[in-house]
Amino acid sequence: MRGSQAPTLEAVARAAGVSRSTVSRVINNLPGVSKRAKLAVDRAIAELRYVPNQAARNLVTRRTNSIALVVSERGDRVFSDPFFAKILRGVYAGMAGSRRQLVLLMDQDRDDGALEAYLCGGHVDGAVVVSLHRGDPLPARLVEAGLPVVLVGRPLGEVKVPYVDSDNFTGAVTAARHLVSSGRRRIATIAGPQDMAAGVDRLNGWQAGMVEPADRIAYSDFSVDGGARAMAELLDRYPDTDGVFAAADIIAVGALRTLAERGKRVPDDLALVGFDDSVLATTTAPQLTTVRQDVEELGRTTTWHLLAQLAGEQVLPPSVLLPTELVQRSST
C-alpha cells in the first residue's frame, strides 16, 4: 500500500473474504464472529497495515477512550498546592499502557451545571474525583447517570462511591505521640477543613494520640495564609504552646511564617509537625518533621480502580486505605 491512500475497511473485507460488518465486529471486539473469520480479518489487517478509525470505533463501542480527573477546587488553589501535582502524576502513571487520554477538569462555577453535563454527556468513560467537600452532589449524580467514578479521599456522608485514601487517622495519632514523646506538654493543632474527610480524620487522630486534654485547636483551609492566621490565633489564645501538629505541610509553612514574626524558635521554643511530606517539607527552615502519605500512589491506585471498573471486573474493593509514616526532620 506504499504510495497509495490508507487502506479502508472495505479493502480489509475484500482481502479477508468477509463482509464489511464482520470486519467492524472484529475490530470492536464484538461477538458473533467465527474463529476462522476473525483469523482472516486479523491477517488482512496485518498485511494491509490497516489502522482503525478511532472516531468510528467510538460510535460503535460508545467509548471515548478518555477519563476525567475532576478537582473540586478553584484553579488558584490547584496550582499553588503541590498535592495536586502529585495526584496528577500518579493518575498519569496509572494510565500508562491503557491507551486512554486524560481530561483535567477544575471547579470553576458549579452552579450552571456545565461540569456535570459534560461528564454525563458521553465525553469521558469515567472519572477520578479529588478534593471532595461535604455535601457535594457530584459523585451521586455521576453514579445515577451510570458513569464509573472513584474518589481520591473518603467521602463524608452516605454517598456509596468507591474511594482510595491515606490512613489519615493513624498518621495524626503518630504525629501527636511523637510530640508527646519529645517532651512537649502544651500541644496544639491547626486542623484542616472540617467539611473534608482528611481534615476530620486528622483532627480525630491528633485527639486520640494525646495524653493531656486536646482542646488547643485552631482551624485553617489548606493554604499558607490560612496556616499563618491559625498559628497567630493559637499564640494569642495559648502563648505557652510548645508543640503544634499542622494538618498539612502547606499549613505548617504558614505557621512557620507567623512563628518567625513572633520571634519563636523552632524547635527550641515550639516543635512543629506537618502532614503530607510534600516538597514543601524539605524547603522550609528548619525542615519539617511530617507524616508521609504517598500521594502519587493515591493517584495510581485510584486510576487502577477506575480502569478495572471499565474493564468489567466485578470483584473490586469498595475502598482502599494506604499507609502513612512519620518522617523526622529538624522541626521537632
pLDDT, residue 201, reads 98
* Distance between CA atoms of residues 161 and 30, nearest Å: 30
Q: For residue 148, what is its C-alpha cell?
A: 464509573
Q: Would you state the pLDDT for residue 56?
A: 52
Tens-digit pLDDT profile for residues 198-235: 999 999 999 999 988 899 999 999 999 999 999 999 99
What are the pLDDT digits (tens) for 311-324? Answer: 888 889 999 999 99
Tens digit of each residue's pLDDT (9 = 90 or more) over 125-173 = 999 999 999 988 899 889 888 899 999 999 998 778 999 999 999 999 9
pTM of the model: 0.80
Query: Quick one: average pLDDT of 82-93?
Result: 95
**Given a cut of 80, is residue 258 above it in pLDDT?**
yes
Percent of the chain with pLDDT over 70: 93
| pLDDT higher than 70, residue 4 | no
